[in-house]
């Protein structure tokens, strides 16, 4: 009997953590595919917001009309400065022309 023939009988409760939690969210078969692909490997998954940041920033640039920073900031739960930085294509840290606490005084 091949694994594929009885795999349909596997339930989330049959799986150990973390597979149990994943299977409860996305189903057993996708979970077992993940286990097959990454089983035994240490992987790091960034926070949900980080995974979607590129798409969010692209959407902000698309919606920006030159006058709606405040509305976009509220919509995307960001500061107005952050929205301006995204529109300029810079990170907020690059957008600041401030000296570092540890800089030697040169900009």
* Threshold 0.85, pTM exceeds: no
Which sequence spans correspond to the domains of the chain?
3-38, 48-95
User: Residue 70 in contact with residue 85, Cβ under 8 Å?
Assistant: no
In this prediction, residue 52 has a pLDDT band, given cuts at 50, 70 and 90, of very high
CA distance 70 to 91: 18
Lookup result for tokens 């035994």:
40
Task: Give the per-residue pLDDT at 68.
Answer: 97
Q: Is 48-95 a domain of CATH 1.10.10? A: yes
pLDDT tens-digit series, residues 68-100: 999 999 999 999 999 999 999 876 555 555 555
Task: Give the per-residue pLDDT at 107.
Answer: 46
Cα end-to-end distance, the chain, whole Å: 69
User: Residue 101 in contact with residue 78, Cβ under 8 Å?
Assistant: no
What Rg, from alpha-carbon coordinates, does the chain have? 23
CA distance 72 to 63: 8
């Amino acid at each position: 009997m091949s694994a594929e023939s009885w795999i349909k009988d596997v339930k989330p409760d049959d799986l150990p953590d973390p597979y149990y939690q994943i299977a409860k969210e996305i189903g057993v078969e996708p979970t077992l595919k993940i286990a097959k692909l990454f089983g035994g490997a240490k992987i790091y998954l960034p926070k949900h917001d980080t995974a979607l940041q590129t798409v969010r920033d692209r959407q902000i640039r698309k919606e920006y009309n030159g006058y709606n920073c405040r509305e976009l900031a509220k919509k995307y739960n960001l500061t107005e400065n952050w929205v301006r930085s995204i529109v300029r294509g810079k990170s907020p840290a690059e957008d600041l022309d401030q000296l570092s606490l540890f800089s030697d005084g040169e900009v």
